[in-house]
Amino acid sequence: MEVTLNHLKRPEESAVDVSRRLQKRTRWGELFIQTFLFLCGAVSIFTTLGIVYELGKEALLFFQMPGVTLVEFFTQTEWQPTVGRFGVLPLVSATVVTTVIAMLVAVPFGLGSAIYLSEYASEKARKILKPALEVLAGIPTVVYGYFALTTVTPFLRIFFGEALNIYNMLSAGLTMGIMIIPLVASISEDALHAVPNSLREGAYAMGATRLETALQVVVPAALSGIIAGFILGFSRAIGETMIVAIAAGSGPNFTFNPLQSAETMTGYIARISGGDVAYDTPDYNSIFAIGLLLFGISLILNIISRRVSSRLREVYE
């Protein structure tokens, strides 16, 4: 560093003058990279704003239609826009039921896989098992949908018999949970792996077992990253389309019984977007209102995720 300053310094020139002269020099390569990165960020922001604008504009057409009110939209339990029934609760309840079932599967199995990979598996086993687990995330969701319909539902009928409909929320939710396990496991494992070894060594020095160290030291230290993974998995489950469109059913049904068929918000959007509905009809315009509602739910979950992560984050030197 001393050699560099001496090389740059002119006679009677102080270090402050050298620093100011270097700051004034235009570095074209760095300027190009900064401009490129700014454009990347600007494109992402303007794309999001464009999506919100289009959703809001089309949703406004729906709410300006005769008979459509915000109160009925959020409180009524019948959704049949063709005959003037505009209560979105049947679609919301089906979305909630399938999402909760999916998280009941994804959270314990995903966190368990992450703890094993981070605290118990050897480095060689980790290099093999983690990519193998992440292969599940690369399977197309339409394959998961038919897996739910042709494999999971017949298996569940062994236990529930005829009480379980062919199209039902239980098999769709279970299959979504299997699909989300790699997401939860990967993010949680990264958070656990980032915990300093000094915390583990301190726990072992106090006589703690490996399980006690994992559950009482490492998991609490990585809690912000783990919860962020849970919330991202929750957002992924709410936005999933193909599995619920194939396996959950295609008719709005206000019920919390997972053995029955029901249509989720994404399933309804997929069905109406198939091309069989005319433009500027209540059914067509309603998909933008539901899309805007989905966007709002995802936005709220992301905000909660950031708040929780920042509040529980711990910094280690």
- Look at residue 11 and tell me if it is in a domain: no
Which two three-digit tokens encode residue 287? 């998909």
The pLDDT score that the predictor gives to residue 3 is: 45
Q: Among residues 182, 273, 274, which one has the least CA distance to residue 236?
A: 182
The pLDDT score that the predictor gives to residue 19 is: 67
Is beta strand 79-80 parallel, antiparallel or unpaired with respect to 85-86? antiparallel
Q: Give the CA angle between residues 178, 259, 111 to the nearest 5°.
A: 25
pLDDT digits (tens, 9 = 90+) for 71-89: 889 888 889 888 888 899 9
Q: Report phi then psi at 152, rounded to 5.
A: -70, -45
User: Is residue 70 scored above 80 in pLDDT?
Assistant: yes
For residue 85, what are the β-bridge partners?
Answer: 80
- Look at residue 38 and tell me if it is in a domain: no
- Look at residue 109 and tell me if it is in a domain: yes
- Look at residue 179 and tell me if it is in a domain: yes
User: Is residue 12 scored above 60 in pLDDT?
Assistant: no
> What domain count does the chain have?
1
The pLDDT score that the predictor gives to residue 125 is: 86
pTM metric for this prediction: 0.82
- Look at residue 68 and tell me if it is in a domain: no
pLDDT digits (tens, 9 = 90+) for 237-270: 998 889 999 999 888 999 999 999 999 999 999 8
Q: Among residues 258, 232, 255, 224, which one has the least CA distance to residue 244?
A: 258
- Look at residue 19 and tell me if it is in a domain: no
- Look at residue 113 and tell me if it is in a domain: yes
User: Is residue 114 scored above 70 in pLDDT?
Assistant: yes
Residue 278: domain span: 85-314
pLDDT digits (tens, 9 = 90+) for 180-200: 999 999 889 888 988 888 889
The pLDDT score that the predictor gives to residue 2 is: 46
The pLDDT score that the predictor gives to residue 178 is: 93
Q: Among residues 140, 117, 254, which one has the least CA distance to residue 193?
A: 117
- Look at residue 80 and tell me if it is in a domain: no
- Mean pLDDT for 58-63 is 88
The pLDDT score that the predictor gives to residue 22 is: 63
The pLDDT score that the predictor gives to residue 151 is: 94
Q: Which of 2-16, 63-77, 104-118 has the lowest mean pLDDT?
A: 2-16
* Three-state SS at 265: helix
User: Which CATH number is 100's domain given?
Assistant: 1.10.3720.10
Note whether 156 and 80 are within 8 A (CB): no
